[in-house]
């Protein structure tokens, strides 16, 4: 039977190898994200032959949410192993992070054996890198205006180094403390994720960007390679008292870190209206639709 445990930095090579085989585009298929955000869903990992499996054990209805395994081998066999484990807990097998090609594959392997659900808040926003770098054309007119205001701030952008870590951690903590009334589980998990990114920055192979105004951190962002074509932005924090600051960190980081990639994944909007409007305003090339299946 599958054996689940906490993810560790020592798992990086094995997990990354499995992720590279599958080349999935969803933000769940990032070792850095799985490591940093494990507290959000009480996630644990397991291996089945040459497959890597991540499972979130925190859910509203108590049903664990497995993510479609990445790696190489028989999906018929690995799903059977996942079913056995779920059934041993007295739960049905629920599998998330499934894109349309994978859903087609599962329908062929397991016809009429599961129900399908989707939540638009879980869909990833995928942008053409060239669009976010160049901001050309009429549709980005307002973004160029924001960027012009940003350039008037006398801000300085640089790629992140260890010298920036402490100030960025403090900057993120100050934002967290300013939202004391919102300190639910997700905000606490976010602080854990930020600290993990910094604690294992080099081991995770991350790239970061920092904006300073008057010598002080005004914004920072972190991301890494998701697959051969896609760079993923994991987190972005900025001081909104500065007009155009988000446009500045977005564009500066795209130029510095995502050049050479076809796409940039800026992850989900979580169903939050403000975040959705912001992500839509950058005109994604497409939304990566993701499905959840529950076996009968």
pLDDT tens track for 119-139: 999 999 999 999 999 999 999
Q: How far apart are CA 31 and CA 45, in angstroms?
A: 11
pTM of the model: 0.95
Angle at which helices 162-178 and 185-199 cross, to 10°: 170
279 three-state secondary structure = helix
CB atoms < 10 A from the CB of 185, how many?
12
* pLDDT at 182 (0 to 100): 59
Structure tokens at 180: 């004391």
φ, ψ of residue 114 to 5 degrees: the values are -150, 160
Predicted confidence band at 295 (pLDDT cuts at 50, 70, 90)? Answer: very high
* pLDDT at 178 (0 to 100): 73
Fold: same for 9-123 and 124-267: yes
Residue spans of the domains in the chain: they are 9-123, 124-267
Predicted confidence band at 175 (pLDDT cuts at 50, 70, 90)? Answer: confident
* pLDDT at 183 (0 to 100): 59
pLDDT, averaged across the chain: 96
Across the range 66-82, mean pLDDT stands at 98
Structure tokens at 250: 């977005």
* pLDDT at 93 (0 to 100): 98
* pLDDT at 230 (0 to 100): 98
Summarised one tens digit per residue, pLDDT across range 194-227 is 999 999 999 999 999 999 999 999 999 999 999 9
Predicted confidence band at 91 (pLDDT cuts at 50, 70, 90)? Answer: very high
* pLDDT at 174 (0 to 100): 86
Contact 30, 15 (CB under 8 A): no
161 three-state secondary structure = coil
φ, ψ of residue 191 to 5 degrees: the values are -65, -40
Predicted confidence band at 181 (pLDDT cuts at 50, 70, 90)? Answer: low
Is the CATH number 3.40.50.1980 carried by domain 9-123? Answer: no
* pLDDT at 180 (0 to 100): 57
Q: How would you classify the pairing of strands 216-225 and 230-238?
A: antiparallel
Across the range 275-288, mean pLDDT stands at 97
* pLDDT at 177 (0 to 100): 75
Across the range 273-295, mean pLDDT stands at 97
Helix residue spans in the chain (DSSP H): 12-22, 31-36, 75-88, 100-109, 129-134, 141-151, 162-178, 185-199, 245-257, 273-280
124-267, what's its fold? Aminopeptidase (3.40.630)
> Residues of the chain with pLDDT > 70: what percent?
98
Predicted confidence band at 184 (pLDDT cuts at 50, 70, 90)? Answer: confident
């Amino acid at each position: 039977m599958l054996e689940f445990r906490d993810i560790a930095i020592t798992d990086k090579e094995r997990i990354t190898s499995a992720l590279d085989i599958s080349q999935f585009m969803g933000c769940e298929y990032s070792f850095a994200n799985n490591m940093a955000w494990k507290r959000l869903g009480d996630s644990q990992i397991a291996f089945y032959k040459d497959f890597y499996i991540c499972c979130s054990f925190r859910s509203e209805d108590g049903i664990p949410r497995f993510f479609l395994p990445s790696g190489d081998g028989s999906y018929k066999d690995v799903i059977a192993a996942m079913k056995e484990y779920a059934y041993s807990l007295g739960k049905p097998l629920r599998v998330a992070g499934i894109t349309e090609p994978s859903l087609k594959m599962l329908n062929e392997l397991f016809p009429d054996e599961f129900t399908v659900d989707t939540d638009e808040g879980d869909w990833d926003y995928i942008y053409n890198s060239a669009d976010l770098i160049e901001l050309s054309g009429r549709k980005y007119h307002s973004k160029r205006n924001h960027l012009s205001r940003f350039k008037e701030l006398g801000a300085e952008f640089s790629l992140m180094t260890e010298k920036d870590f402490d100030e960025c951690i403090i900057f993120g903590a100050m934002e967290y403390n300013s939202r004391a009334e919102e300190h639910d589980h997700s905000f606490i998990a976010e602080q854990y994720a930020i600290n993990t990114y910094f604690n294992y920055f080099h081991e995770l192979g991350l790239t970061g960007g920092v904006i300073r105004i008057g010598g002080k951190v005004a914004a920072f962002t972190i991301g890494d390679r998701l697959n051969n074509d896609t760079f993923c932005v994991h987190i972005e924090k900025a001081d909104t008292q500065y007009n155009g600051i988000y446009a500045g960190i977005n564009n500066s980081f795209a130029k510095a870190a995502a050049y050479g990639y076809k796409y940039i994944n800026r992850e989900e909007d979580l169903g939050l209206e403000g975040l959705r409007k912001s992500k839509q305003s950058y005109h994604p090339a497409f939304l990566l639709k993701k499905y959840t299946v529950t076996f009968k």
